Amino acid sequence: MPKIIVDGKEVECRDRIPVLQAVLEAGWDVPHYCYHPGLSIVASCRLCLMEMKMPNPKTKALEWAPRLMPSCQTPIKDGMEVRFDSDKVRDNQKHCMEYFLLNHPLDCPVCDQAGECYLQDYSLKFGESTSRMVEAKNKNPKKDVGSKTLLYQDRCVMCSRCVRFCNEVAGTGELAIVNRGSRAEIDVFPGVPLENRLQGNVVDICPVGSLLDKDFLMDQRVWFLRGGDSICPLCATGCAVRVDQNNGTVYRVKPRYNPGVNDWWMCDDGRFGWKYAHDEKRLNRLMVRRGMEVDSPDWSALPGIVRVRLDSLARSTDGGKIAVLLSPFMACEEAWMLASFVRSIAPQSTLAMGPVPYEGEDDTFPKGSSNGSAVKFRVLAEKCPNRRGIEMILASLGGHRATFDEFVKKAGEGAFAGAWIVGGYPKPWVTKELESALGKIETLFAQDLFPSALTDAATIVMPSCSWAERAGTFINAQDKVQPFEAAIAPIEGCQSDGQYLHAIWGGQGLYQAAKVREAMAKAMPAFASVHVPPAMPEHAH
């Protein structure tokens, strides 16, 4: 690996990266607006300029060059020496910050970006405490540039990240810089609003409060939010995301850096599709039907009730008339605990997986790209997070297995005296064929998010939790085993699926996904190591 000298210290860095990226990864806090590792380099903000030693044309000796160089545009070279800790560099940073603040409104108290704005932070760290501006600031109007995005033009520092994103990643090119010099501004082409499926990313990469998410606008101050690492559950890509919540309410979902899966981006389907987690129609109590009576016992009684009912069914049918329908929205640990528990009571039971939802065709970005290296982001038509994980568990446990259609057909023929059916889909999923077959099942255990024909027919109804309230692993379309943590506690009246399945399975104490994975790894080595994306450098953005 090449080594460079930064402010007198030797730094080992990755090959073929810019000096700015190398020093950010080494822990330096170098200000920058226009540079983003996922976009082309324009070196327009001039904040990251550095001093660099170059050969003197006359003596050939290495000397500090008379002019500053953009560190974002200078590739590293083994042995090169640069410095950021110098009067010349600091003067440049102060002058740049003064320029950026000439016309920028000081509306931090009402700006949605306050608390995570790099204009605020850099002004404090690298700028001046006073302004020499005596003229009135230019005022530019707000612009409604898309169905989900607002543009506050007067806060813009013209870094052009949003323009490059639309050109290079989305490939839709809705945004452009119009006019020049002090009149330059971001705008959409007439009649072509910002409407691509990745538009939320332009808000993420805006370093100031210029581009804002309408969905999050004025909802929360960011310093009240707490983030939880998770995996998007709404398609098989498995984007790494951060769930921002306050007091148990999710306010926004943002992408986490995950090279090779979603890099720095996520689609709007996942960004805005989590609202079902707070749907008022969600099931929120455990229900047990005894004839016409409906009881709501304590959760601690559930393992005993389930075991008694399944033991009775297994004795009366030799276990061959019991079935479990797992859901592709379950975490691997949840599915494995449930299937293992039922198989421990009824080894002849049938295991199956519920329907896998698809919507349209796979969508690739940039637009116009096809399979191959040119594709930078892919929104998959397969709208569930864990089909591959459930298939792996079914294959591992062996025995009687069935497809969803076979399960429904057998159930309709009265082949199952008892069945445990898991839903957890964010949209209605019970088919008419399944609804018709439910009446032929004598004892029905239903585990789902919302009321449906399934829960109406069930003997025991266990409310499921949304993915934000659960922990476990999903296996994505690339066969990466990706863990996720619960971002919020279950709603009142509910337990997380992992917790009550852990108790039913026979586990002691609180459910811990990592402990269950250790047990799973004995039969399925893929769970011995999980894919955890690297952390972004502290000062990168």
Predicted confidence at residue 416, as pLDDT, reads: 96
Residues 41, 47, 53: CA angle, nearest 5 degrees: 85
Q: According to the model, what pLDDT value does residue 499 have?
A: 97
pLDDT tens for each residue of 4-28 = 999 999 999 999 999 999 999 999 9
| Structure-token pair, residue 287 | 């229900």
Q: Average the pLDDT over 324-349 and give the result.
A: 97
Lowest mean pLDDT among 94-108, 155-169, 342-356: 94-108
Closest to 447 (Cα-Cα) out of 305, 326, 346:
326
Percentage of the chain lying above the pLDDT 70 cut: 99
> What are φ and ψ of residue 246, in 5° steps?
-140, 125
Task: Output the pLDDT for position 227.
Answer: 95
User: Which contiguous run of DSSP H or E holds residue 150?
Assistant: strand 149-152
pLDDT confidence tier of residue 370, bands split at 50, 70 and 90: low
Looking only at the bridges linking them, the beta strands covering 418-422 and 322-326 are: parallel
* Contact call for residues 467 and 291 (beta carbons, < 8 A): no
Length of the chain equals 541
**Residue 495: both structure tokens together:** 């337990």
Q: What is the pLDDT of residue 34?
A: 98
Give the model confidence (pLDDT) of 401-428 as tens digits.
999 999 999 999 999 999 999 999 999 9
Could you report the per-residue pLDDT of 277-323, keeping only the tens digit for each?
Answer: 999 999 999 999 988 889 999 999 999 999 999 999 999 887 789 99
User: Would you state the torsion angle of the CA atoms of residues 121, 126, 130, 135, taken in this order, to the nearest 10 degrees?
Assistant: -80
Instruction: Report d(CA 524, CA 285) in Å as an integer.
Output: 34
Alpha helices in 419-490, H assignment, sequence order: 432-438, 453-457
